[in-house]
Amino acid sequence: MHLMTGLALKDLHKYYGSVVAVQNVNLHIPHGRFVCFLGPSGCGKTTLLRLIAGLEQPTRGRILLDSSDITDQPAHRRNFGMVFQSLALFPHLSVGENIAYSLRVRKVENPMRQRRIDELLELVRLPGYSGRHISQLSGGQRQRVAIARALAIEPRLFLLDEPLSALDAKLREDMQLELRMLQQRLQITTIVVTHDQREAMTMSDLIVVMGTDNQVHQMGTPLEIYREPADTFVADFIGTSNLLQGFYSGDREAAVLGKTLKIESVPEGLASGSEITISVRPEDISILPGAREGENCLHGIVTFVRDVGSSVEIYLDCDGFQIISQSTPQRRPPVKQKDAATAVLPPAACKVLTS
């Protein structure tokens, strides 16, 4: 039998009656990676995590960990660590007792438990908090205790369900870095569910994008997902995209908005005449003042300039279609509202999407 390390999800489906929660999931998550399940709310990413944790039973499909089938193993035998969105810290236990819960359940002797509590509190930078009551901790501290509790048994998989959503923006950014560095230090396979793409891109080795159809749309490194979106949903959901609909006219040219656009690469076997969508990232588009003629130029009127200091976005109305471009303040194009301008779409930046 072919041995595979890591977590494999095979043809996984979960229905609640006639409601689809997750369907057609086939994934392989290699050992030691940091993976984010990213998607809008209701896409089934939390259900997928709960299936992996054993808190839900799949309607169909198998879950394999290091080639052994764990689909029918109950949650308490899987030796995974999980951090819940509500954190689910035990309110009747102290910080130390919360962290040592999994050790006590496994009948680890007390001196050993104490040592592990101290180690973990050191790890999450809360030394000396063992005797505190949960209600005496701030949101960020509770977060750390929940992480320490999940890591107490050195779990085979570390699962986190929207772990940072309750924290304020500043603390969240700090915790993202901390979580990532913790994972790199421990080399533990980690899966985080999030709807925040910035969070996903900050932390993960791999991102799994799920859509409103409760399926996986793409899995790849953060840059792959951003640069080479698999379909229009991913292009639209991750960052901002200009999505231009048109037809492939063959020979690396597309008919879009009444113009012909040159494209650098085309998916293999794309027949001319096929309906396609061209995705261009705002930062790849340059804006020139006035109506210039040339390759891949679209003409329009500047409708809005959004200057937020760190970047400048220019909204261009091209015959009723809105093009958004983004540039640094240093390279800000010399245009203002109601000016005529030209958007240049470099052929290399035009990604062809067929679905």
Partner 1 sequence: MIGDKPKGLGDHLPIIYPAVMLGVFFIIPFGIMLTISFFKRQSGGFYTPTFDLHNYQNLFTPHFARVLVFSIFISALCAVISVAVGFPFTYFITRMRRKAQVVWLVMLISVLSLSAVIIGFAWSLILSQTAGISNFFVRLGLMAHPTSWSPSFWALLCGLCYVAFPYTVLVLYPPLSRLDPHLPEAAQTLGASPIKTFFTVVVGSLRGAIVASLVMVFAFTLGTYVLPQILGRPQHWTLSVLITDEAIYHSNLPLSAAMAVFFMLVSLALVALTMRIGKGRTVEHK
Closer CB to partner 1, 16 or 304, in the complex: 16
Q: Is 123 in the site for partner 1 (CB under 8 A)?
A: no
Q: Compute, in degrees rounded to 10, the torsion defined by CA atoms 124, 127, 130, 135.
A: -70
The helix, strand and coil proportions of the chain, stated in percent and rounded to the nearest 5, come to 30, 35, 40
End-to-end alpha carbon distance in the chain: 36
Return the residue of 28, 60, 76, 115 that touches partner 1, per CB under 8 A. 76
Q: Which of 4, 64, 153, 270 binds partner 1 (CB under 8 A)?
A: 153
Q: Are 146 and 87 in contact (CB under 8 A)?
A: yes
Q: Which of 28, 106, 125, 306 binds partner 1 (CB under 8 A)?
A: 106
- Is 74 a binding residue for partner 1 by CB under 8 A? The answer is yes
Should residue 237 be labelled a site residue for partner 1 when binding is judged by CB under 8 A?
no
- Span near partner 1 by CB under 8 A; candidates 69-77, 115-123, 264-272, 347-355: 69-77
Q: For residues 303 and 218, what is the distance between their CA atoms, to the nearest angstrom?
A: 34
Give the pair of three-digit tokens for residue 5.
């390390």
User: Least separation, in Å, of the C-beta of 89 and partner 1?
Assistant: 8
Locate 245 and state its tokens: 């609909």
Q: Which residue's CB is nearer to partner 1, number 100 or number 316?
A: 100
Which residues face 154 on adjacent strands? Answer: none
Shortest distance, position 205 Cβ to partner 1, whole Å: 23
Question: Is-contact 180 202, C-beta < 8 A?
Answer: yes
| Residue 75 binds to partner 1 (criterion: CB under 8 A) | yes
- Determine if 127 is a binding residue for partner 1 (CB under 8 A): no
Q: Looking at residue 210, what DSSP letter applies?
A: E
Residue 70, interface with partner 1 (CB under 8 A)?
no
Instruction: Draw the binding track, 38-57, toward partner 1 (x: CB under 8 A; -: no contact).
Output: ---------------xxx--
Candidates 152-160, 239-247, 289-297, 314-322; binding stretch for partner 1 (CB under 8 A): 152-160
Residue placing its CB nearer to partner 1 in the complex, 183 or 325: 183
Residue 136 makes contact with partner 1 by CB under 8 A: yes
60 binds partner 1 (CB under 8 A): no
The residue within the footprint of partner 1, chosen from 37, 80, 237, 248 (CB under 8 A), is 80
Q: How far is the CB of 21 from partner 1 (least distance, A)?
A: 17
CB 65 within 8 A of CB 28: no
In the complex, minimum distance from the CB of residue 78 to partner 1, in angstroms, rounded to a whole number:
8
Nearest Cα to 60, choosing from 112, 25, 33? 25
How far is residue 308's CA from residue 53's CA, in Å, rounded to a whole number? 42
Query: Which string of DSSP letters, residue by residue, matches 132-197?
Result: -BGGGS-HHHHHHHHHHHHHTT--SSEEEESTTTTS-HHHHHHHHHHHHHHHHHHT--EEEEES-H
Stretch of 22-30, 100-108, 167-175, 292-300 contacting partner 1, by CB under 8 A: 100-108
User: Binding residue for partner 1 (CB under 8 A) from 133, 292, 306, 336?
Assistant: 133
**Token code pair at residue 9:** 């999800």
Q: How far apart are CA 241 and CA 324, in angstroms?
A: 8
Q: Using CB under 8 A as the criterion, which residues of the chain lie in contact with partner 1 when the complex forms?
A: 53-55, 74-82, 84-86, 88, 90-94, 97, 101-102, 105-106, 131-133, 136, 149-150, 152-153, 159
